[in-house]
């Protein structure tokens, strides 16, 4: 595994729509492993391929599987690697939350997101998978899928600011 460089704005790759993945081979699995390592090292809870300069519809996420686990730091986290993900259903309920981004260091924003999303995607072997995410996990999936569509969180934010406290800086998605 190898760390990849995270690109930041104004790199134009971040504003472009990523292409569907069609090859499910060893190179893809290596890329996914590199993305997970890079995300952890950053540190972040999600990373999309455009953030490492690749216009491919790949995202990795590491977070608590159940919303109730968010209160327990010792709860196990799960890693998702999603290929060609699509949000197929959203809740009517939305929630405001603070987001940051590894590709926009030094900024945070308040973003309204759906409280729950249903996602269909392919796993690292090309097999179909369905994910139902709630709360912060739903927020992370929406944030990463936005990256695959060339959308930055700042475009959805109602307010953007530079953090002044360490607590704020821990919100990076």
- Domain chopping of the chain, boundaries: 12-169
Q: Active-site residue numbers? A: 144
Instruction: Count, in order, helices (H) and strands (E) of the chain.
Output: 4, 8
**Cis-peptide, bond into residue 60, ω within 30° of zero:** no
Has residue 169 got a pLDDT over 50? no
Q: Write down the pLDDT at residue 173.
A: 59
d(CA 36, CA 81): 9
For 110-152, the pLDDT digits (tens) are: 999 999 999 999 999 999 999 999 999 999 999 999 999 999 9
| CATH top class, domain 12-169 | alpha beta
Q: Write down the pLDDT at residue 157.
A: 97
Give the contacts of 39 (CB within 8 A, at least 6 positions apart). Answer: 45, 46, 47, 60, 62, 102
For 31-75, the pLDDT digits (tens) are: 999 999 999 999 999 999 999 999 999 999 999 887 788 888 888
Lowest mean pLDDT across 16-20, 117-121, 133-137, 168-172: 168-172
Has residue 76 got a pLDDT over 50? yes
Other Cβ atoms within 10 Å of 128 Cβ, number? 8
Q: Write down the pLDDT at residue 73.
A: 80
d(CA 27, CA 17): 21
């Amino acid at each position: 595994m190898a760390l990849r460089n995270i690109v930041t704005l104004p790199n134009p790759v971040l504003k472009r729509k990523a292409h569907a993945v069609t090859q499910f081979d060893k190179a893809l699995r290596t890329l996914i492993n590199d993305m997970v390592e890079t995300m952890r090292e950053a540190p972040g809870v999600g990373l999309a391929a455009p953030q490492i300069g690749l216009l491919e519809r790949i995202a990795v996420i590491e977070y608590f599987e159940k919303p109730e686990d968010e209160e327990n730091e010792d709860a196990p986290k799960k890693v998702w690697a999603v290929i060609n993900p699509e949000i197929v259903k959203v809740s009517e309920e939305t929630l405001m939350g603070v987001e940051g981004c590894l590709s926009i260091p030094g900024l945070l924003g308040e973003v309204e997101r759906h409280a729950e999303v249903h996602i269909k995607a392919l796993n690292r072997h090309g097999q179909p998978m369905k994910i139902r995410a709630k709360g912060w996990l739903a927020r992370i999936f929406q944030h990463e899928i936005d990256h695959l569509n060339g959308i930055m969180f700042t475009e959805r934010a109602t307010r953007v600011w530079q953090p002044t406290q360490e607590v704020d800086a821990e919100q990076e998605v």
